[in-house]
């Protein structure tokens, strides 16, 4: 009898362990599924909560108000405030959009039509930074101005360096009309089409090399988006035209663990990098502060 009881006890203990193991597996599975759907839900584009207020206010303005599709999660879009009836630097009608953060700071977008506006509605100029720099890589950024078509947009921060240069560039790149605007809170969610035009295909020269001259100017890179084929050698010749600030430094990636840093010592200098890409994808090249950005597509 004792042997039977011992065998029965051992069997029950084993069954209890199996039940416990099954319960743990079930809980872990539910947890992973919850995290997956939570991330999936947060990654989906949502409509801008401030769009209705913007559309109602812009009725009396001679231009279409722009809002950013991308804003970091520290900002409370639903609490955005509008200051209308303001006057711009040259007496033009101006509007301000004030986006507060959870900690009481704010990002202010001031928009007006410039007297020197471009005729092309879709034109976009590189941002002009209002920074105080102690060293090339130590700057305090309080404001940034950019021209989008006929519109001047001034972005001001209540505290210096409220956003990183990369985040700020995405805010600028995604400026668009409030109607049907989809919004994002993560840089990774923002579609590449917001930032760059269709890619320029790089031809293969007589040496069998895909050769491209990449020029940085005060208005950005030319071309700002180019495409190369994988497994074929690439030669990028980097030059500058005019005064470009930190644009004389280029960070170029073409795969995991594969990158180059190019530095132009003077406007007449040029640097060359050669590589053979093997990892298809979209790769962002940029200056140290992300003020200048472009994309290379490896096909």
Among 13-17, 95-99, 133-137, 165-169, name the one with the lowest average pLDDT.
133-137
Same domain for 254 and 133, yes or no, is: no
Q: Is residue 121 part of a domain?
A: yes
Same domain for 274 and 148, yes or no, is: no
Tell me what pLDDT residue 93 has: 93
How many DSSP H helices and E strands does the chain contain? 3, 20
Tell me what pLDDT residue 199 has: 92
CATH of the domain at 266: 2.60.40.420
Domain's final residue, options 131, 163, 191:
191
Tell me what pLDDT residue 1 has: 47
Residue 170 pLDDT more than 90? Answer: no
**How far is residue 185's CA from residue 39's CA, in Å, rounded to a whole number?**
12
Tell me what pLDDT residue 178 has: 87
Most confident option among 74-88, 123-137, 186-200: 74-88
Same domain for 269 and 141, yes or no, is: no
Domain's final residue, options 153, 173, 191:
191
Q: Give 246 or 45, the one with higher predicted confidence.
A: 246
Same domain for 87 and 56, yes or no, is: yes
Q: Is residue 18 part of a domain?
A: no
In the chain, the percentage of residues whose pLDDT exceeds 70 is: 81
Same domain for 56 and 163, yes or no, is: yes
* Confidence bin at 33 (pLDDT 50/70/90): low
Same domain for 184 and 97, yes or no, is: yes
Same domain for 170 and 229, yes or no, is: no
Helix, strand or coil, per DSSP, at residue 198: coil
Same domain for 252 and 173, yes or no, is: no
Q: Is residue 264 part of a domain?
A: yes
Angle at 51 between CA 47 and CA 55, to 5 degrees: 145
**How far is residue 13's CA from residue 200's CA, in Å, rounded to a whole number?**
68
**Per-residue pLDDT averaged across 67-80, rounded?**
93
* Confidence bin at 182 (pLDDT 50/70/90): confident
Q: Is residue 13 part of a domain?
A: no
Tell me what pLDDT residue 193 has: 66
Same domain for 61 and 172, yes or no, is: yes
Q: Give 87 or 127, the one with higher predicted confidence.
A: 87
Please tell me the total count of domains within the chain: 2
Q: Is residue 3 part of a domain?
A: no
Q: Is residue 7 part of a domain?
A: no
Domain's final residue, options 191, 219, 248:
191
Same domain for 132 and 54, yes or no, is: yes
Q: Report pLDDT digits (tens) over 258-299.
A: 999 999 999 999 999 999 999 999 999 998 877 788 999 999
C-alpha to C-alpha distances, 87 to 66, 107, 109, 114, nearest whole angstrom: 17, 19, 14, 12
**Per-residue pLDDT averaged across 76-96, rounded?**
93
Same domain for 51 and 178, yes or no, is: yes
53: containing domain? 47-191
Q: Give 208 or 33, the one with higher predicted confidence.
A: 208
* Confidence bin at 239 (pLDDT 50/70/90): very high
Task: Name the DSSP class of 75.
Answer: B
Tell me what pLDDT residue 127 has: 63
Return left, alpha or beta for 162; rule: phi > 0 is left, psi -120 to 50 is alpha, else beta.
alpha
Mean pLDDT of all residues belonging to the chain = 83
Tell me what pLDDT residue 245 has: 81
């Amino acid at each position: 009898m004792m042997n039977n009881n011992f065998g029965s006890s051992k069997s029950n203990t084993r069954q209890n362990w199996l039940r416990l193991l099954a319960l743990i597996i079930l809980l872990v599975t539910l947890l992973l599924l919850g995290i997956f759907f939570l991330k999936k839900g947060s990654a989906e584009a949502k409509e801008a909560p401030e769009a209705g207020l913007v559309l109602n206010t812009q009725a009396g303005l001679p231009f279409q108000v722009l809002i950013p599709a991308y804003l970091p999660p520290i900002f409370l879009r639903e609490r955005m405030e509008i200051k209308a009836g303001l006057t711009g630097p040259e007496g033009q009608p101006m509007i301000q959009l004030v986006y507060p953060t959870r900690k009481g700071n704010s990002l202010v977008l001031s928009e007006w039509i410039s007297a020197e506006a471009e005729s092309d509605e879709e034109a976009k100029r590189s941002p002009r930074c209002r920074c105080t720099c102690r060293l090339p890589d130590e700057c305090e950024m309080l404001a940034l101005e950019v021209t989008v078509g006929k519109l001047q947009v001034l972005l001001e921060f209540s505290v210096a360096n409220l956003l990183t240069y990369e985040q700020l560039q995405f805010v600028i790149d995604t400026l668009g009309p409030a109607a049907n605007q989809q919004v994002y809170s993560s840089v990774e969610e923002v579609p590449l089409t917001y930032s760059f035009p269709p890619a320029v295909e790089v031809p293969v020269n007589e040496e069998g090399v895909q050769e491209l001259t990449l020029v940085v100017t005060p208005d950005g890179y030319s071309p700002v988006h180019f495409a190369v084929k994988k497994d074929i050698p690439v030669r990028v010749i980097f030059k500058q035209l005019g005064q470009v600030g930190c644009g004389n430094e280029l960070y170029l990636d073409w795969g995991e663990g594969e990158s180059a840093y190019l530095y132009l010592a003077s406007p007449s200098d040029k640097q060359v990098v050669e590589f053979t890409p093997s990892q298809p994808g979209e790769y962002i090249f940029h200056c140290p502060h992300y003020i200048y950005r472009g994309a290379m597509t490896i096909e």
